[in-house]
């Protein structure tokens, strides 16, 4: 019975595949077909799966979603409100469709960017080599379905030694109720290059829809990548995202993931070390209220020696919302001199708010430094007293501390306009009006 329900859900998603134009090269069609086959064999997760214990998707499985054949035309002004002024390059996707009109491709050398459905020759081989090689369609039903629907998506290639001063902004806008979109991103940063990519998931209106996103990121030797992932979907939306990252020797990857929106959101972030001496820095924030659920599962795989990783995951949970964090750190046998630190800090703003946090360390090397900690609490009484002793009312002091707790993550975001706008959004979400 259970299996039937699960498979019928995937079937219903896959049925709408007829609508997908069979665009692209042979290898892309072959990949899609392989993903369709895998999707048929896989079942979607339920709370009986250990990795999905706290995240009940049955509401998602009951709903039905359709692909949007013709996306709504968005005004430039509407897109403008989400613009990141620092970004000279912007790719906009509306309901899964690439928007030539709103996108701004690079005008100078060092970086090549294209839409997956219409790839320039220069990106063909690169996409063929890397696409679906990290985000495995063999085990993950949502990644498989995303791949089965491969059409539009961002493919970014930063050439060796090129230092991109200006960030690349990838904007995914959902505008239609009961629709589904499959955002796809591939980033390849060649040796010694540097870049910043902002992935921004936005919903217009309050409607329920599904975003099933997959991003794959390859950071070559001594390259540096900064990645901002911002999930601010509509309040009724489902968001399921998978980010898979591989970093070669001496390379570094820094991420800031922020989850503000969606009724139910899940983000799986998998980092793999592909050589010695890599550096990972992962900051996460989920700021939720009402009946929202935000689930972050991360996995940092130290497969080589001299890797360093730092992770700070924070949640602020109000109302009857529920945050989930599972942070796996794997230190493999040969990964000596690994230096890994993980902190999960959670602030509950109401009696009904809930958080489930689970650091998970698996260490098979003997000469490593791994520190981790998890804290769940309410606003600290001493901090509150300090602010009140300076004249601030109870409400203002609480709001300020809540803001400060959340802002610590976003203030480090290297794109200043985005950090400022997020601070403002946090300010608005944390400023309760009623006196407690």
**Residues at the contact surface with another protein, assessed by CB under 8 A:** 381-383, 385-394, 396-397, 400-401, 403-408, 411
Shortest distance, position 416 Cβ to another protein, whole Å: 14
Q: How far is the CB of 221 from another protein (least distance, A)?
A: 34
Minimum distance from CB of 270 to another protein (Å)? 29
Alpha helices in 303-393 (DSSP H): 381-388
Residue written as token pair 């220069």: 122
Cβ 386 to another protein, closest distance in Å? 4
Between CA 268 and CA 419 the distance in angstroms is: 23
Residues 6+ apart with CB under 8 A from 172: 93, 181, 183, 199, 200, 201, 202, 211, 213
SS3 content of the chain, % helix, strand, coil (to 5): 25, 40, 35
Q: Cα(4)–Cα(367) distance, rounded to whole angstroms?
A: 48
- Cβ atoms of residues 206 and 236 within 8 Å: yes
Yes or no: say if 230 and 222 are a contact pair by the CB < 8 Å rule.
Answer: no
CB nearer another protein, residue 214 or residue 260: 260
**Between residues 150 and 401, which has the closer beta carbon with respect to another protein?**
401
Q: Give the nearest distance from C-beta 406 to another protein in angstroms.
A: 7
Residue reference for tokens 């030797």: 221
Nearer to another protein, 47 or 393 (CB): 393
Q: Residue 12 or 432: which CB sits closer to another protein?
A: 432
Is the CB of residue 167 less than 8 Å from the CB of residue 415? yes
Calpha distance 121→152 (Å, rounded): 16
Q: Which is nearer to another protein, 177 or 421 (CB)?
A: 421
Q: Please report where in the chains the tokens 């790719």 appear, as a residue.
A: 91
Closest CB to another protein among residues 170, 318: 318
The distance of closest approach from Cβ of residue 385 to another protein in the complex, given in angstroms and rounded to an integer, is 6
Phi, psi of 142 (to 5 degrees): -70, -35
Q: DSSP character for 54? A: T
Contact indicator for 283, 412 with CB cutoff of 8 Å? yes
How near is the Cβ of 414 to another protein at its closest, in Å? Answer: 17
CB 160 within 8 A of CB 194: no
Cβ nearer to another protein, comparing 79 with 285 = 285
Tell me how far, at minimum, the Cβ of 407 lies from another protein, in Å: 4
Kindly tell me which of 73 and 396 has the beta carbon lying closer to another protein: 396
């Amino acid at each position: 019975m259970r299996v039937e329900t699960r498979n019928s859900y995937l079937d219903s998603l896959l049925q709408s595949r007829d609508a997908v134009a069979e665009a692209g090269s042979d290898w892309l069609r072959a990949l899609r077909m392989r993903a369709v086959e895998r999707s048929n064999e896989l079942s979607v997760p339920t709370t009986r799966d250990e990795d999905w214990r706290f995240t009940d998707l049955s509401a998602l499985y009951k709903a039905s979603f359709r692909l949007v054949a013709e996306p709504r035309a968005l005004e430039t002004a509407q897109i403008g409100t989400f613009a990141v002024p620092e970004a000279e390059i912007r790719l906009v996707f509306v309901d899964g469709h690439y928007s030539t009109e709103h996108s701004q491709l690079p005008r100078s050398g060092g970086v090549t960017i294209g839409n997956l459905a219409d790839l320039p020759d220069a990106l063909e081989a690169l996409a063929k080599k890397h696409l679906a090689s990290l985000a495995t369609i063999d085990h993950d039903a949502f990644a498989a379905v995303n791949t089965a629907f491969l059409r539009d998506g961002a493919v970014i290639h930063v050439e060796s030694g090129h230092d991109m001063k200006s960030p690349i902004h990838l904007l995914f806008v959902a505008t239609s109720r009961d629709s589904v979109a499959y955002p796809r991103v591939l980033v390849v940063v060649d040796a010694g290059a540097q870049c910043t990519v902002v992935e921004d998931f936005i919903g217009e209106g309050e409607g329920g829809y599904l975003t099933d996103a997959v991003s794959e990121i390859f950071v070559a030797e001594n390259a540096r990548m900064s990645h901002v992932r911002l999930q601010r979907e509509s309040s009724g939306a489902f968001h399921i995202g998978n980010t898979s990252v591989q970093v070669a020797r001496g390379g570094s990857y820094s991420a800031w993931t922020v989850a503000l929106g969606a009724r139910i959101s899940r983000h799986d972030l998998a980092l793999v070390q592909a050589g010695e001496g890599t550096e990972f820095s992962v900051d996460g924030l989920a700021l939720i209220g009402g009946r929202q659920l935000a689930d972050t599962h991360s996995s940092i795989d130290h497969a080589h020696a001299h890797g360093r990783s730092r992770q700070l995951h924070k949640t602020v949970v109000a109302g009857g919302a529920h945050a989930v964090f599972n942070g796996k750190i794997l230190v493999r046998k040969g990964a000596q001199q690994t230096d890994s630190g993980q902190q999960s800090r959670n602030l509950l703003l109401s009696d009904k708010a809930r958080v489930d946090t689970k650091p998970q360390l698996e260490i098979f090397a003997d000469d490593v430094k791994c520190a981790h900690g998890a804290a769940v609490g309410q606003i600290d009484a001493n901090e509150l007293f300090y602010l009140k002793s300076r004249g601030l009312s109870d409400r203002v002091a609480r709001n300020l501390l809540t803001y400060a707790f959340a802002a610590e993550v976003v203030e480090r975001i290297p794109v200043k306009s985005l950090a400022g706008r997020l601070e403002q959004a946090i300010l608005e979400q944390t400023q309760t009006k009623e006196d407690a």
